[in-house]
Chains A and B, each alone.
Chain A
């Protein structure tokens, strides 16, 4: 009962933070330095790990698909399988999970320590709303960078699949036919659905991590606990949202 109440409470405070941050959208142009800094942190620094992981996920997908399909003589469809799974599901979810682990945790740690060491109080007394200076640029940067990351994840994953398809002996499909199949069985909507998902996940992850950070009370131990909670809550939300958004977009 108590836990249920606290879930509703955090839901409410997250929503409130969103509304507050949203009300300052007009200040974004003059906060562009902060926006660019956050784009760098969210986009650029996450890029290598996104690329590495999606490359291997694409490769493994192709490998597993090739292995199980060789008996049916269906292995020429590997391209479409890798293409669709990456674009519709694995790309967005993987980007979101990396974002939670890498960016979300850092956001919560930073904001929680600002809260605990009274920096947030100092901002409030200076009449500089934390939602404006700390939350808005991060949300905007997430909206701007997550689709880019998701597209890169898709492309790299497809490419990883193509390499496996060509060089693994029991598959050996030429890249031309791999990509031809990929294109034939995929429509733009598949990619778009994936991007919508990634965008939603990224936005929710950053918002939730900001809110947990700003609501931290106590000392160093609580900062650590807040980071853990932010990552766990983010991961749960990603998977729950994934189901509902997938259903809604069908």
Chain B
């Protein structure tokens, strides 16, 4: 994959190449259960890729492979042609993931959750860190929560803190696992705007797992749909507006049929 389109690295104002992700023939099983089945796709540098699919189809597991937290059973995942599971890859490429459950550090305050990365990597001094952290909190309307602990936050606030924590890392590769699932419509729109503007300003390569049709249709450049561990659709949002594949159509635009509900169809 060509390392093209230079991005401004927000930390150093130097030009760094945007990163691309290549997934080749990726399969993953947990014990006897095949969760990902021979997936091949690539995310171009600076692209916004939205991954959709029913619950349990393997979306989160796929994201974990991209950041190298999970080792493939077969096939491989590379980031800028470096193996995703190699430790050196994380040293070369700044990547951040917003976990589905937030994964906040429960023993640290919200402020320290955001500051940890900057402190550990000695990105800047405490004053600089304060500025970055407060700005990220402000973007996500969390100014009042800085001194709170994760256990004192609502579900949606935790999600926003997780997003803020990823933003302060100023990553080149950003992965979101259902960023808007617990948020109100306005906040969801804000998140979509953030994702789009990070791409426009910094060429951040982005993968978003989401059930949010609006988000997918508005900001995605390409969409993939995962079902039972297989990629059943890969294309542009426009192709999704009138999907040809009945499986895809049924997933994206399910009819709510009160006369013949799905759970009753199961019984017969």
Interface residues of A in 103-139 (CB under 8 A from B): 110, 113-114, 117-119, 121-122, 124-128, 133
Count of A interface residues, CB-CB < 8 Å: 14
Is the Cβ of B120 less than 8 Å from the Cβ of A126? Answer: yes
Q: Is B233 an interface residue (CB 8 A)?
A: no
Q: Which residues of B contact A121 (CB under 8 A)?
A: 64, 69, 99, 103
Q: Which residues of B contact A126 (CB under 8 A)?
A: 96, 116-117, 120, 169
Is the Cβ of A122 less than 8 Å from the Cβ of B121? Answer: no
Interface residues of B in 10-36 (CB under 8 A from A): none
Is the Cβ of A117 less than 8 Å from the Cβ of B90? Answer: no
Could you tell me the distance between the alpha carbons of A49 and B175 in the complex, rounded to whole angstroms?
48
Interface residues of B in 92-110 (CB under 8 A from A): 94-97, 99, 101, 103-107
Q: Closest CB-CB distance, B268 to chain A, in whole Å?
A: 35
Q: Which residues of A contact B121 (CB under 8 A)?
A: 127-128
Residue B120 contacts which of A114, A119, A122, A133 (CB distance < 8 angstroms)?
A133
Residue B106 contacts which of A119, A124, A125, A128 (CB distance < 8 angstroms)?
A119
Q: Which residues of A contact B64 (CB under 8 A)?
A: 121
Q: Closest CB-CB distance, B19 to chain A, in whole Å?
A: 14
Is the Cβ of A118 less than 8 Å from the Cβ of B90? Answer: no
Q: Closest CB-CB distance, B21 to chain A, in whole Å?
A: 14
Q: Is B91 an interface residue (CB 8 A)?
A: yes
Q: Closest CB-CB distance, B70 to chain A, in whole Å?
A: 10
Could you tell me the distance between the alpha carbons of A126 and B69 in the complex, rounded to whole angstroms?
12
Q: Is B167 an interface residue (CB 8 A)?
A: no
Q: Closest CB-CB distance, A248 to chain B, in whole Å?
A: 37
Residue B96 contacts which of A110, A125, A128 (CB distance < 8 angstroms)?
A125
CB<8 Å pairs between A and B, sample of 9: A118-B103, A119-B105, A121-B69, A122-B99, A122-B105, A124-B90, A125-B95, A126-B117, A128-B116
